[in-house]
Structure 1
Amino acid sequence: MSVKHAISRGLELGRSIFQLGVLKAGSRVAAKLRADRVRAGPAFRTAQPQAFLPLRYRYYRTSLRGLAAQLQWAGFVRRFAGGSPRNRAVFLAFGLGVGLIEKQIEDDRLSLATCNEIKAVFRKKKFQSPLKPLAYGYKLEDYIVGNQIGKGSNAAVYEAAPQFFCSKKSDGEPAAVQIRDSEGEEGNRVMPSLSCCSLRNFPLAIKMLWNFGAGSSNEAIFRSMSHELVPTDPLALAPAKQQLTLDGNFGVVPRRVSAHPNVIRVYRAFTADVPLLPGAQDEYPDVLPARLNPSGLGNNRTLFLVMKNYPFSLRQYLQVCTPSRKQRSVMVLQLLEGVDHLCKQGVAHRDLKSDNVLLEFDSDGCPRLVITDFGCCLAESEQSLQLPFNSQWVDRGGNASLMAPEVASAVPGRRVVIDYSKADAWAVGAISYEIFGEPNPFYHAVGLHSISYQEKQLPILHSSAPADVQLVIRLLLRRSPTKRPSARVAANMLHLTLWGQRILDKQGNAGMRKLAEWLLCQSAVVLLKGCSGPAGNRVEAELQRNFLRNLELEELRTAMGFLIYGRNQHTARIPSA
């Protein structure tokens, strides 16, 4: 065996022995510690890099560089103490192999410390809604209710304003707001859009739930419709009702999610007698109580939710507007950010579709999306995104067309559990087709079914969709949830695509140190732009702050790996000239 061959074998042996014997054990311990921290739920993580090896590997943990130096020195000493040249070469090369990975480990530690420091800086400032908090409004009489702006399967939504807010006519009646009804293609009626005048006069929206079987007591109504309260503000309920036991559909208290720019915020929730609102007799006569419609089936009281008034739903917006290429990518990213926020707080929406996404515009005209309608959500504090599916009567959620494969194909049985941790991310992948101007492949126009479709049957997106975004969408629509990226990883991929092209192009020659430097530059740019004022309220600024607030080194590395692999595959398919 030549000396060159012996050295190469020693380097390979040193690297493999260390990785299999030390790093593998360390990764198991790190995963266990990470899981313990998730279960314990600490309020703050230190910004210092954590030791990733157990106590019995203290020597390796504290002085890996020293270990390499001692091995190399021992190999050098053996040169004069006897022994075959081959054994001395292998022993020396083993020391060199251990020393070579010291730089990689040190880069990882520095990157981890950088991510934690950046995350700590941006988590200090919580998201604040641009709408000023209400100090009143716990009764329906506190609002002026305008025209109907939406209707679903379980509620009607009306524009509203505080009593003192709307301008008055001379006769004391609220100012009339004209809402135009338009006819869509093939004679289909399109939901009227709100004019600027309407939004100025009615900045709020009131959602009136339909009450069929909950009775008319406040406690029964709150218990039956408690999932609608998941996105409520801490002061949404009147002080006298804050201690109500909200049992939910499964007998446990549902979670409440914190404020997020891409999740609807409910400012007030109260019960009241069902009024005769505009269009009620024509739009939903059967759900009215008998005192308003003798043939009605509804109860006298129901739940009302007060939230911000948005001019469009996502479906309405895509029917009348054509967003730019970058805006489409930003819209998909916002949905992933909202889904990731819900998943981290133990909530699965389970009814995500373009009708349940509302939309407004920032100062630059970029659409800002919010996820709404939590009536079908899974939010039980004890379930943790997993639902026991022991009977066919267990509710899987709404909108069967956009139900993830692992949910739609589940068969009830003993100890069967449906995992919803990646189900909403799959729905975002399907909605992305609509955002990029294509028919949703899981609606009747294309005819794919989430139970039986094959990934190769998915339509190819229009060329207006960037290649990296198409990769993200295809990954989100993978049938197996184990092969599907989480909402956080998919969001990181889009962040890197939108603002990190330079680091992606250099990743073949750059390591984690270059990534840490890029993160520091991004943090400086976001901080210089400011976190408040007109620039801080833009959609892109909010997304960049969310990205830096949720930095996790492993998730970022996984996202980068997906992108680099996808680019290499795309390059391999292009024939050479």
Structure 2
Amino acid sequence: MSVKHAISRGLELGRSVFQLGLLKSGGRVVAKLRADRLRVGPSVRTVQPQAFLPSRYRYYRTSLKGLAAQLQSAGFRRRFGGGSPRNRAVFLAFGLGVGLIEQQLEDDRRSAATCQEIQAVFRKKRFQSPLKPFASGYKLEDYIIGSQIGKGSNAAVYEAAAPFAPPKESKSSLVELREDEEEVGTARSLTCCSLKTFPLAIKMMWNFGAGSSSESILKAMSQELVPAGPLALKQEKEQITLDGEFGVLPKRVSAHPNVIRVHRAFTADVPLLPGAQEEYPDVLPARLNPAGLGNNRTLFLVMKNYPCTLRQYLEASTPGRRLGSLMVLQLLEGVDHLCRQGVAHRDLKSDNVLMEFDSDGCPRLVITDFGCCLAQTDSSLQLPFNSMWVNRGGNASLMAPEVTTAVPGCGVVIDYSKADAWAVGAISYEIFGQQNPFYRAVGLESRSYQEKQLPPLPSSVPADVQLVIRLLLRRNPSKRPSARVAANMLHLSLWGRKALANQDGVGTRKLVDWLLCQSAVVLLRGCSGPSGNTVEAELQRSFLSNLDLEDLRTAVGFLLYGREQRQACILSA
């Protein structure tokens, strides 16, 4: 074995032993070596700052720098001085490897501190709802109600206007969709209702068995209040103990550009709205339809009116590669925001995603309809599954494998922490012009499919985006990236190509340099006017406000792994 190979072997040994946790307490080792060398009592252990250490290193409390020095001097001379030159070289390199880890930890601490500073700056810039706040609107009579714009299994949605909240000026009721720069074809358009006349939407819940008192209605439908703003309910209603199915009080999520915002929530008598007798006669109360099964009062939610749903948009247009990537990224950002606040949507599908368009013509996606959500007070996203009668969520076709294959029993829980991210992977097929592989037309079932059965995505879809979708659809949730890691992968693919340009790997310092540049660009863009309100600017702010060094490293690792796999396929071909 050459000296070069010996040193290489020792360095690798030093790193692997450290990372696998095979070293005993560093404090005892250093104290023993120091005592052997100086013949004095045990030294005081040096405590490392724990907060900035990566999670896999946090159980070490002693200075590795001192340990490395002792391994290279006292330990080497006293214990291995009589060995062969080869063994001495290996052990010396082992000490050098531990010393290099100390330097790496120092870099990690600095990088983590920088990430925390960036995160703190952007978390102060909270997202503001596009609608101006208004002080009235707690009664149905306060609104002018127009035509029906949507109907689901538990509610109908109508366009609405509020005289006390004058709408913003709108140039046209025709929403123009600009084509992606790389997409060939003429500009398309999508006609929608006049947002200028009816800037709001009112969702009327269907009340079958919740009773007609305000308190019982709010208790039974408390999940619908998850995206409600702080002024959505009247102050006296806020004091009601809303012990619905999933918690004592309805969990509220903070505002986010990719999550719907409920501006008002109130109960009122069910009115006879346009199309009610034809569209949903059975849910009307007996005073409006003698054969109706509904109660006299129900819950009404007031939200912003959006031009269309994601499904409607995809029926009329196929986004290009960049717009499609931005749309998938928005869904991941919305899901990550919900997960961070202890909410699992559990009914994510293209019908439950609303859309509008920014000043650049880029689609802005908004997750809506929280009637099936899991919003526990402990934020664990784990649902006890001790009976087959436990509600597992909404659309069975888009339930993650760990949800559909769960078998009820004593102590069994369903973990929803990555279930919505799996659904995003399935919806991504629709975004890129394909049929959803888990709908009947394709025939795959989330309960039993194999990953190799997933249909290929169009060749026009960027390779990194294809990798993200494949990873999101992994059956095993432990091998599936979280929504945050998947979103980081797309952020790096869209805006961090220079940081990933080094084929030999991506260093922490290089990543931090890129993050600092991105922060400066986003801050300057936010100060320069309307360009700071675009979808891309919102996505970049969301990324920087949720910055975590370990999540970012995991995303880099997935991307580099995907590159290696693609290169191996090219070489084998």
Same fold (TM over 0.5): yes
- For residue 559 of structure 1, the aligned residue among 555, 562, 566 is 555
The answer to whether the aligner puts 1:497 opposite 2:493 as a matched pair is: yes
Instruction: Please give the alpha-carbon distance, in whole angstroms, between the structure 2 residues aligned to 1:5 and 1:330.
Output: 47
The answer to whether the aligner puts 1:308 opposite 2:311 as a matched pair is: no
CA shift for structure 1 position 298: 0.9
- What letter corresponds to residue 545 of structure 1 in structure 2? R
Q: Residue 563 of structure 2: SS of its match in structure 1?
A: helix
Instruction: Please give the alpha-carbon distance, in whole angstroms, between the structure 2 residues aligned to 1:250 and 1:7.
Output: 58
Q: How many residues align?
A: 532
Q: Which residue of 2 aligns with 1:483?
A: 479
> What runs of 5+ residues in structure 1 fail to find an aligned partner?
27-45, 168-176, 180-191
- Tell me, yes or no, if the aligned pair for 1:155 and 1:210 is still in contact at 8 Å: yes
Instruction: Please give the alpha-carbon distance, in whole angstroms, between the structure 2 residues aligned to 1:178 and 1:513.
Output: 49
CA shift for structure 1 position 13: 4.2
Residues 413-422 or 251-260, more deviating:
251-260
Q: Which residue of 1 aligns with 2:192?
A: 194
The answer to whether the aligner puts 1:514 opposite 2:510 as a matched pair is: yes
Q: Which residue of 2 aligns with 1:100?
A: 100
* Residues 312-369 of structure 1: per-residue CA shift (max 9 Å, x gap): 1000111112322101100000000000011111111111000000000011010000
Q: Which residue of 2 aligns with 1:120?
A: 120
Instruction: Please give the alpha-carbon distance, in whole angstroms, between the structure 2 residues aligned to 1:271 and 1:129.
Output: 23
Q: Which residue of 1 aligns with 2:150?
A: 150
- What letter corresponds to residue 303 of structure 2 in structure 1? M
Matches within 5 A, 1:164-563: 164=164, 194-195=192-193, 198-250=194-246, 252-382=248-378, 384-506=380-502, 508-530=504-526, 533-563=529-559
TM-score, scaled to structure 1: 0.86
Instruction: Please give the alpha-carbon distance, in whole angstroms, between the structure 2 residues aligned to 1:157 and 1:321.
Output: 24
Instruction: Please give the alpha-carbon distance, in whole angstroms, between the structure 1 residues aligned to 2:533 and 2:451.
Output: 38
- What letter corresponds to residue 376 of structure 1 in structure 2? C
The answer to whether the aligner puts 1:130 opposite 2:130 as a matched pair is: yes
CA shift for structure 1 position 68: 3.3
- What letter corresponds to residue 194 of structure 1 in structure 2? C
- Tell me, yes or no, if the aligned pair for 1:48 and 1:113 is still in contact at 8 Å: no
Q: Which residue of 1 aligns with 2:52?
A: 49
Instruction: Please give the alpha-carbon distance, in whole angstroms, between the structure 2 residues aligned to 1:89 and 1:440.
Output: 58
Q: Residue 424 of structure 2: SS of its match in structure 1?
A: helix
* 1:24–1:206 Cα change, 3 Å: farther
Instruction: Please give the alpha-carbon distance, in whole angstroms, between the structure 1 residues aligned to 2:56 and 2:452.
Output: 43
CA shift for structure 1 position 510: 4.0
- Tell me, yes or no, if the aligned pair for 1:476 and 1:485 is still in contact at 8 Å: yes
- What letter corresponds to residue 97 of structure 2 in structure 1? G
> What runs of 5+ residues in structure 2 fail to find an aligned partner?
27-48, 175-189
- Alpha-carbon RMSD: 2.9
- Tell me, yes or no, if the aligned pair for 2:53 and 2:108 is still in contact at 8 Å: no
Identical positions, percent: 77
CA shift for structure 1 position 550: 0.5
Instruction: Please give the alpha-carbon distance, in whole angstroms, between the structure 2 residues aligned to 1:319 and 1:4.
Output: 62
Q: Which residue of 2 aligns with 1:43?
A: none
Instruction: Please give the alpha-carbon distance, in whole angstroms, between the structure 1 residues aligned to 2:352 and 2:23.
Output: 46
CA shift for structure 1 position 508: 1.9
- What letter corresponds to residue 213 of structure 1 in structure 2? G
Instruction: Please give the alpha-carbon distance, in whole angstroms, between the structure 2 residues aligned to 1:147 and 1:25.
Output: 71
- Tell me, yes or no, if the aligned pair for 1:389 and 1:415 is still in contact at 8 Å: yes
CA shift for structure 1 position 85: 4.7
CA shift for structure 1 position 412: 1.4
Instruction: Please give the alpha-carbon distance, in whole angstroms, between the structure 2 residues aligned to 1:378 and 1:55.
Output: 33
CA shift for structure 1 position 252: 3.0
Instruction: Please give the alpha-carbon distance, in whole angstroms, between the structure 2 residues aligned to 1:142 and 1:23.
Output: 70
Q: Residue 201 of structure 1: SS of its match in structure 2?
A: coil
- Tell me, yes or no, if the aligned pair for 1:165 and 1:201 is still in contact at 8 Å: no
Q: Which residue of 2 aligns with 1:572?
A: 568
Residues 251-260 or 94-103, more deviating:
94-103
Instruction: Please give the alpha-carbon distance, in whole angstroms, between the structure 1 residues aligned to 2:515 and 2:203.
Output: 42
* Residues 86-106 of structure 1: per-residue CA shift (max 9 Å, x gap): 565455333323223333222
CA shift for structure 1 position 194: 2.1
- What letter corresponds to residue 397 of structure 1 in structure 2? G
CA shift for structure 1 position 160: 0.6
CA shift for structure 1 position 294: 1.3
- Tell me, yes or no, if the aligned pair for 1:13 and 1:97 is still in contact at 8 Å: yes
- Tell me, yes or no, if the aligned pair for 1:379 and 1:385 is still in contact at 8 Å: yes
* Residues 162-215 of structure 1: per-residue CA shift (max 9 Å, x gap): 135679xxxxxxxxx999xxxxxxxxxxxx9523xx100111000000111111
- What letter corresponds to residue 324 of structure 1 in structure 2? G
- Tell me, yes or no, if the aligned pair for 1:47 and 1:113 is still in contact at 8 Å: no
- What letter corresponds to residue 68 of structure 2 in structure 1? A
